[in-house]
Amino acid sequence: MMDLDIPPTQIDADVQRALTEDVGAGDLSAGIVPGERRARAVVICRQAAVICGEPWVRATLRQLAPAATVTWRVPDGGRCEPGQAIFEVEGGARELLTAERTCLNFLQFLSGIATRTAVFVDRVQGTAARVLDTRKTIPGLRQAQKYAVRCGGGHNHRMGLFDAVLIKENHIHAAGSLPAAFRAAQALAPQASFIQVEVETLAQLEEALAIGVTMVLLDNMPLASVRRAVAMAGGRCSLEVSGGVNLENIRAYAETGVDRISVGALVKDVTAADFSMRFAA
């Protein structure tokens, strides 16, 4: 499994919220099944996908069916073919029926992110550019979504406002100038993993380079300007492209020589992967 880097308590909390929402006071439909009935179920993926979600599935089963046994077939970060079995589970039939939708919801959502990320990552193979996510996540599920990006071969930008500094247009306006904003950010440097400055023009890039900025985000710059920005920087700073990046143009941006490309669509424009659970004989 991929490096999770998420506290188990966070995963348990994610699952508990989902179960409270779905199960509430009890599963009325599962009540029609005799309590002593046991079952074996197989979960398959109906499409080619990159799998993600095992920790959340296991946490769901621990909370609802602690005696169930799970055999996982495709690890997180692994690719599957249409119709391939992802995991098998055996336990009380009632408990498995109640757990089914929550397990599949996490699996389909996170695998959708991992699969989409892998498509973007595949497009930039052979270049030096890394594909990153953004903070455009569903509230309460950011850590899960960023884990899914890693499963798809992407990289994480900052986790939140607390771990790094990104000086954007509004920060510069409120601080009075780019140098003033950057100096204030440097005072926070011991607390920040990095300081990055967003620029929209080549003139702003020149100003950033002049004051010693070492990480620059090129916001919504056309391809020709990005090429000029790479030449201007001459390796003096790390350059990231953001805004307007899609599957049709990401390769061209990567070939300019930028270091990073952040894509909000990895976590906000997600198509769920198609999974199904079936009871087996």
Annotated catalytic residue within 79, 135, 168, 251? 168
Distances (CA, A) of 223 to 127, 134, 227, 257: 16, 21, 6, 11
Annotated catalytic residue within 95, 198, 240, 259? 198
Annotated catalytic residue within 101, 130, 227, 228? 101
Annotated catalytic residue within 12, 219, 255, 274? 219
Question: Alpha-carbon distance 261 to 241, whole Å?
Answer: 5
Question: Alpha-carbon distance 206 to 96, whole Å?
Answer: 60
Residue 163 annotated as catalytic:
no
Residue 216 · residue 239 · CB < 8 Å? yes
Residue 268 annotated as catalytic:
no
State both tokens at 29.
């439909």
Annotated catalytic residue within 40, 130, 136, 142? 136
Residue 219 annotated as catalytic:
yes
State both tokens at 56.
């959340």
Among candidates 163, 154, 139, 135, which has minimal Cα distance to 52? 154
Among candidates 4, 266, 278, which has minimal Cα distance to 137? 266
Question: Alpha-carbon distance 234 to 171, whole Å?
Answer: 26
Among candidates 204, 200, 174, 175, which has minimal Cα distance to 187? 175
Angle at alpha carbon of residue 119, lines to 233 and 226, rounded to 5°: 20
| Catalytic residue set | 101, 136, 168, 198, 219
